[in-house]
Amino acid sequence: MAVVIKDWTTRLTELQKSNLYLIDKQFIGLTEEEKIERKKLMEIRKNEYEKKNLLSKKKQKIQELIDYTESLIANKNTGVLVKSKYYWKLGKELIKQGRKNRGLYYLDLSLQLKEIILGKNHPQIMNQLCYYNKVC
């Protein structure tokens, strides 16, 4: 139990830390004040674990998105413009999810692939460069 306490007890006050023994006790044998304090501690612990699970699910979702896009791009039959489109969508989604550096990396890859095919002065590339510079 000491490992679990280390995770969520860092933000507790000294009074709450001194009452941690209430979590292991049976609810029936406690006084009204102890019941209220135990309920507060249990709620704090529950909120900390939910926050931790939410962050891990968010990371997992981002990684699945990257893996899915990479698998589509790895296909030999996929054209350069289609790869560029997938990289662009992935980059925008990563920026939306809060992964700005990684998102900019994929936007840059998309622009490089399009420049190979269309040239630097194509209107579509100029439009995407404006978006890229705005995000930077």
Report residue 97 as tokens: 């999810």
pTM flag (> 0.85): no
Q: Which amino acid is at 45?
A: R
Instruction: Reduce the DSSP state of residue 79 to 3 states and report it.
Output: coil
Containing structural domain, residue 129 = 79-136
Q: What is the pLDDT of residues 79-110, one digit of tens each?
A: 888 999 999 999 999 999 889 999 999 999 99
Using pLDDT thresholds of 50, 70 and 90, give the confidence band for residue 56.
Answer: confident
Neighbours of 110 (CB within 10 A): 24
The torsion angle over the Cα atoms of residues 110, 102, 97 and 95, rounded to 10 degrees, is -50
Do 84 and 69 share a structural domain?
no
Do 102 and 45 share a structural domain?
no
Report residue 38 as tokens: 């135990």
Q: Which amino acid is at 77?
A: N
Do 97 and 35 share a structural domain?
no
Residue 7 has what pLDDT?
Answer: 66
Q: What's the CATH code of the domain at 115? A: 1.25.40
